[in-house]
Amino acid sequence: MLCPSGVVIINKPAGSTSHAVTQGVKRLLSAKKTGHTGTLDPFATGVLPICVNEATKLVQFLALDDKCYQATVRFGSETDTGDVEGDVVAAAEWEEVTPERLRRELSHYCGEIELEIPLHSAVKVGGRPLYFYAHRGIEVKELPRRKSLIYQIDLIDFSLPHATLEIHCAKGTYIRSLVKALGRSLGSLAHLVHLDRLQSGIFSKSSALTLETLEEKVRDNPAALEEVMIRPADALPMFPSLFLAPHEVRRVRNGIPLHRPPVQCASFRDQSCVRLLDEKSGGLVAVGKVKNEGIIDLVRVFFGAS
């Protein structure tokens, strides 16, 4: 049985890299290609959407999705990596941290904020990724900073020296940096001891499978793969849909931009992208971008995607 194209939601275990999990899915499904939509650190767990075969073309869109995390923080120390896998480099008192103070401080971190990029990251400084300097013990005098968007932070549990937070944020937010800044603003220090991604865009942990469960399902019933795999057409519900007649499907798959009367495209002009679907099968033919003249430029074209 040929492996179909689609998205499988994996519950990444602690201790595995996102790349290793992605390759594990590739081997398990005998897929030609796979790709994930956003790296989780090895110690982190939770939602890791894996795009399979033609659906790997979805990565550029799904990587932009908002995320939701549950983060467990330990007050009283910082590590060189910002998380539990690093060495403690500084210590401080933590007894003055209270739930009330913590909630007040959390409110200051909602909205657009600026966070320091961790030293153990792939962001480049001087032409080299920051982890290059970290692994060689080379000092970086001033770490770059990046704007991040935090929608909401809730205190879920509090038992000093630990606290558990639920964080809803935009892509590219370094939770390690958020925790480090939070500890300092409370007059203490802090690092991340556990991180669990609860949601990535429309994909939630409730629908995520472990690699072991996926293997069992496929081994016992290969047809069950289609039940757990999300069709490419269903993975982009944030984009409005246009249905294509058979002759339009052929033209689009030959790389020819779609022409529609401007009046038909009027309601789509302010959208970032549009799903172009086969009116017969409902399958994803392409992702397009509507222009004012009624021309839909092709951003990505899909072959054999359902």
Return the domain boundaries, the chain: 6-65+202-233, 67-200, 239-301
Domain 6-65+202-233 class in CATH: alpha beta
pLDDT confidence of residue 305: 64
- What whole-number percentage of the chain has pLDDT above 70? 94
Longest dimension (CA), the chain: 70
CA-based nearest residue to 57, from 300, 306, 303: 300
Q: Looking at the structure, give the CATH architecture of the domain made up of residues 67-200.
A: 2-Layer Sandwich (3.30)
Helix H or strand E encompassing 151? strand 145-159
At 71 the three-state DSSP class reads strand
Could you tell me the pLDDT band of residue 88, with boundaries at 50, 70 and 90? very high
Say if 6-65+202-233 and 67-200 have the same CATH topology.
Answer: yes
Q: Which residues are catalytic?
A: 41
Express each pLDDT in 106-151 by its tens digit. Answer: 999 999 999 987 776 676 777 777 766 667 776 777 777 789 999 9
Query: pLDDT tens, 205-243?
Result: 999 999 999 999 888 777 778 888 999 999 999 999 999
Q: pTM of the prediction?
A: 0.90
Coil, strand or helix: which one is 162? strand
Q: Which CATH class is domain 239-301?
A: mainly beta
